[in-house]
Homo-oligomer: A and B are copies of this chain.
Amino acid sequence: MLIDIVLDAMGSDKAPEPELRGAILACRHLPVRVHLVGPREVLRPALDQHLRGERLPIEIVHASEWISMEDKAAQAVRSKRDSSMRVGLKMVREGRAAGFFTAGNTGAAMATAKMVLGGLEGVDRPALATILPTQTGLPCLLLDVGANVDSEPKNLLDFAIMGKVYSEQVLKTRDTSVGLLSIGEEDSKGNSLTRETLPLLRDLLGRNFIGNVEGRDLYNGRADVVVCDGFTGNVALKTSEGLVKLFSSSLKNALKSTVTAQVGALLSRKAFNTFKRKLDYSEYGGAPLLGVRGVCTIGHGSSNERAIMNGIRVTAEVAQANVNGQIEAALRNSNGNGDMTL
């Protein structure tokens, strides 16, 4: 049985090329049927050329419009009623596919998913989660990284439950540790939101809650899951992206500066690639939007075919693991007895 996954063919910076190649890779290696959404007149000839007669379970679903990275999210969602995102997400809502993946405009994807899919029972606000690499080699799931701006303690509790379920079901963590992003480890540290949320999280998660964690803990493997409001999470994520960019450019310049260094760079190229891969978020297949009624994963705009394939893979895994069903069960459980660890 193949899992039906919808792929926004017009999402990434270089769309539809990485999407076409990624869909082909995915269908060769994974038990999936990919529904490529976008303008048929563009996709049909391009796909046929790539397939060269190879028979793979790839379908084209027509959408006459698409949302670009430059489009303002809210406006594009309103005005482009036949966008590839909207058409694709509708297929998920209607049960014609198990999940949706896009490497497109994050803001637009979140807004469209909220509108088309609606929220999960018991979740006030969906959250965008991202997976960060750590020193221990295990990933750290950070949420929310920008689905919301101003959050209430109740939202952070939902984020914690959703993040814990996702981490256990998809990242396969056990004894999952959840931290609250703050500016000091002691309970008294933080802003009014974190100070109010901390005791509630402790009640909710029991021994799975490890208290306040700091920004540096995002990369040292101290916590499997870290929750914060979407403003703080987005700043942490974008700051990290900026620093990675500074790193690569500085390193490149430093290694260009002398002939000896150039030879050195040549010899250590493979090591650098290992290192870069470790920091390549696309390895993890994108950021899940948690708390909507359906599976929706959002990849980086710079995704290449491999990142697209990984995105399709993770989207299928989330659907198969019934993450949403488990989140709803955990939420019901937490509302019932105040302790989801029971």
Interface residues of A (CB under 8 A from B): 72, 107, 133-135, 146, 149-150, 181-184, 186, 190-192, 194, 214-220, 228-232, 234-247, 249-251, 253-255, 257-258, 260-261, 263-272, 274-275, 278-279
A191 near B231 with CB under 8 A, answer yes
B242 near A243 with CB under 8 A, answer no
A240 near B239 with CB under 8 A, answer yes
Instruction: Choose from B214, B232, B245, B275 the contact partner of A254 (Cβ within 8 Å).
Output: B275
B246 near A274 with CB under 8 A, answer no
Which single residue of chain B is at the shortest CB-CB distance from A145?
B183
How many copies the complex holds: the figure is 2
Which single residue of chain B is at the shortest CB-CB distance from A236?
B239
A242 near B271 with CB under 8 A, answer no
Given contacts A149-B190, A150-B191, A191-B231, 11 further A-B contacts (CB under 8 A): A72-B186, A183-B230, A194-B231, A218-B239, A219-B239, A219-B242, A219-B246, A235-B235, A251-B271, A261-B267, A264-B267
A149 near B236 with CB under 8 A, answer no
Which single residue of chain B is at the shortest CB-CB distance from A278?
B250
The smallest beta-carbon distance between A308 and chain B, in angstroms, is: 23
Instruction: Choose from B192, B240, B258 the contact partner of A243 (Cβ within 8 Å).
Output: B240
Q: List 15 interface pairs A-B (beta carbons < 8 Å), by A numbering.
A: A107-B184, A149-B190, A190-B231, A214-B242, A219-B246, A231-B232, A235-B235, A239-B240, A247-B279, A250-B275, A251-B271, A254-B268, A254-B274, A258-B271, A264-B266
The smallest beta-carbon distance between A175 and chain B, in angstroms, is: 22
Instruction: Choose from B182, B190, B191, B265 the contact partner of A264 (Cβ within 8 Å).
Output: B265
B237 near A215 with CB under 8 A, answer yes
The smallest beta-carbon distance between A266 and chain B, in angstroms, is: 7
Q: How far is the CA of A72 from the CA of B249 in the complex (A)?
A: 39
Cβ contacts under 8 Å, A229 to chain B: 191
Instruction: Choose from B192, B215, B241 the contact partner of A238 (Cβ within 8 Å).
Output: B215
A267 near B263 with CB under 8 A, answer yes
B236 near A235 with CB under 8 A, answer yes
Given contacts A220-B245, A261-B267, A271-B264, contact A236 B254 (CB under 8 A): no
